[in-house]
A and B are shown apart, each in its own frame.
Chain A
Amino acid sequence: MITRLKDKELKRQSRRQLLKLAPVAVLGVFAFPKVSDRLVAAGVHFSDWASGEMFRSQHRAQTFADSEVVPFAKFPYNGYDVLDPEVDLEKWRLMVEGDVQHPGEYTLAQIQALPKVSQNTRHVCVEGWDVVGSFGGARVSDFLKLVGANTGAHFVEVECADDYYESIDMASALHPQSLMCYEMYGAPLDRMHGAPLRLQMPTKLGYKQAKYLTVVRVTNVLKAGKTGYWEDQGYSWFGGL
């Protein structure tokens, strides 16, 4: 709508309206790397909180028919450091610590004695690729029951033979599709996919699904700067799908 007003008045109105935009200038702090580094880390923290809130503990990720699974040869090997930390499979034991009634060493046979779950699910990498694979193992929730874990605790931490480490929120650990995985494509996990035992969770990104497990710890506190190998460098801690 056209208005006619004095030049001076127009200038005054324009100036006043311009000043009202000042709040936008606050975003300018993102131009300073020292500040923005912390702000975007806080942004991810907020997004992780929102992700935790929207996580539905009983909602299952999509599963696929055997015909939709990619051939084993097309399932990528991905490691952060070495692809084969040369675990001595004969002597391997899983150390269980923390807020559990039965801490100590567990054998693979004890884990394999738990009800076995086989599932064809999508493995999503933070890089953007995804692949549908076939996995088998025991539910993390069953294993936590076996060791008498306090499932009211907040976190499950794991350590790995290749010095990788991770931590998972308890709700995701207890998800019915979260596995202590010892099989892929119906065969024992091969060395480069994390033998003898890895996490497999279709509700988490690949980097959360640690391979070559050696330690499982149930805890209420995560050490700052020791929440996960990639997370400590800036990846989202929740990493949920």
Chain B
Amino acid sequence: MSKEEQDQEHQEEQHAEKRDTVPPSEPDPVDEPVKESCAVEITEVKAEAVAEPALAQSVANLDEPAAEGSALVRAAYEHPLPIRLTHWVNAISLFVMVTSGLRIFRAFPSFGPKIPEKILLDIPKSLTLGGWLGGALQWHFTFMWFFVASGVFYLAYQVCSGHYRTVLFTPTDIPGVWPMARHYFFFGPKPPVAGQYNPLQKLAYTSSVAFGALSLLTGIVLYKPAQFSWLAFLFGGFHLTRIWHFAAMCGFLAFIPGHLIMVLLHGWSNFFSMLSGWKREPEYQE
């Protein structure tokens, strides 16, 4: 191998290394890898890339002569790492909190007095976790920390990064809720896709945060009613707080099936984006 060849190879290695060490998550995870590797080609061919994928490919090929699969793909880095981490920790915690919570509820499945006890619901044991009241409480008192930690970290990240703007339900989203619901549930026409989340999604995700806040606050009262008597007072007393706590769970139980059905309907690429952050060929434009 000649010196020139060696140099060239060395440069290529450096180039590859440089691309390898690009931090894809900070500060702007979407732009970084592009800037470093093929931003020049893209800015030049961006307009043509849609119409002339062949041209884009040929330009891109200049960079990596022997590359395979080098056609440009539209993609979006939708879910930053903190969102993905908290999503999965929260999903696991929520599963544990609901199933162990149902087991705890089995010990006194009523919202009335102890005497006479009116059984409200007989929850099948198979839906519960913990085996008995004490076991369920152990799960509940362990995963409450994961649940709260992931929730607080999620909110802090959303607020500090400004990422919340993509998902927070605001009054301007109200008119868009019904057309979307009509599309999903009654086969109405599909409203135009404007951004990463449609109004119905924003409503669902924002209210699930509200359910989380409600479960936490009511949970604190049920766990420490004497220490947090002022909070118990806010919820209308210890007795009513237990109903609110249950209601918050019902909120989650209303959210989860819809969420899972949507994930199933939207396919692998959509699901995988909550694992890898990247979504291939998103529906929306910018």
User: Interface on chain B toward A: helix, strand, loop, or mixed SS?
Assistant: helix
Q: Which residues of B contact A128 (CB under 8 A)?
A: 104-105, 107-108, 242
How many chain B residues touch A (CB < 8 A): the figure is 71
Identify which of A7, A17, A20, A27 contacts B73 (C-beta below 8 A): A7
Q: Which of B113, B139, B225 is the one whose CB lies under 8 Å from A122? A: B225
- Give the residue of B85, B107, B137, B277 whose beta carbon is less than 8 angstroms from that of A236: B137
In the bound complex, do residue A62 and residue B226 qualify as a contact, i.e. CB atoms below 8 Å apart? yes
1/0 per residue, CB under 8 A from A, across B137-156: the answer is 11101111110000000000
Is B227 in contact with A55, judged by CB distance below 8 angstroms?
Answer: yes
Docked complex Cα distance between A24 and B60 (Å): 36
Given A5-B34, A44-B141, the answer on whether A54 and B224 have CB atoms closer than 8 Å is yes
State whether A56 touches B227 (Cβ < 8 A): yes
Interchain CA distance A20-B113 in the complex, whole Å: 50
Is B69 positioned at the interface, with any CB of A under 8 Å from its CB? yes
Interface string of B212-243 (1 = CB under 8 A from A): 00000000000011110100100000110010
Q: What does the 1/0 interface line of B100-141 toward A look like (CB < 8 Å)? A: 000011011010011101000000000000000111011101
Please give me the residue from chain B that is nearest to A78 by CB atom.
B114
**B24's contact among A13, A61, A75, A235, by CB below 8 Å, is which?**
A13
B76 within 8 A of A: yes
In the complex, which residues 232-286 of chain B have their Cβ closer than 8 Å to any Cβ of chain A?
232, 238-239, 242, 272, 275-278, 280, 282, 284-286
B138 nearest in chain A by CB position: A40
* A71-98 vs B, Cβ < 8 Å mask (1 yes, 0 no): 0011110000000000000000000000
A13-B24, A24-B89, A131-B113 known; A4 and B134 CB under 8 Å?
no
Q: Does B203 contact A (CB under 8 A)?
A: no
In contact, A129 and B73 (Cβ under 8 angstroms): no
Knowing A126-B137, A240-B224, the reply to whether A18 touches B76 (Cβ < 8 A) is no
Shortest Cβ distance from residue A193 to the other chain B in the assembled complex, whole angstroms: 14
Q: Looking at chain A's contact residues, is the secondary structure mostly helix, strand, loop, or mixed?
A: mixed
Q: How far is the CB of A205 from chain B (nearest CB, A)?
A: 10
Say how far B263's CB is from chain A's closest CB, in angstroms: 17
Which residues of B sit under 8 angstroms from A127, Cβ to Cβ? 107-108, 133
Whether the pair A6, B24 counts as a contact (CB closer than 8 A) is: no
Interface residues on A, range: 35 or more
Whether a CB of chain B sits under 8 angstroms from the CB of A3 is yes
Task: Check if B226 sits within 8 Å of A203, measured CB to CB.
Answer: yes
Which of A5, A76, A129 is within 8 Å of B33, CB to CB? Answer: A5
Q: Which 9 A-B residue pairings sit nearest by Cβ, starting from the closest?
A: A43-B142, A234-B134, A14-B276, A128-B108, A40-B138, A61-B226, A127-B107, A129-B114, A7-B69
List, sorted by A's number, 24 A–B pairs whose CB atoms are closer than 8 Å.
A2-B282, A2-B285, A3-B31, A4-B34, A4-B73, A6-B71, A6-B72, A7-B71, A8-B68, A14-B277, A17-B81, A17-B277, A39-B142, A40-B142, A41-B138, A46-B142, A47-B141, A55-B227, A61-B225, A62-B225, A76-B114, A131-B113, A234-B138, A235-B137
B residues sitting closer than 8 Å to A (CB atoms) are: 24-25, 30-31, 33-34, 37-38, 42, 46, 49, 56, 60, 67-77, 81, 84-85, 88-89, 92, 96, 104-105, 107-108, 110, 113-115, 117, 133-135, 137-139, 141-146, 224-227, 229, 232, 238-239, 242, 272, 275-278, 280, 282, 284-286
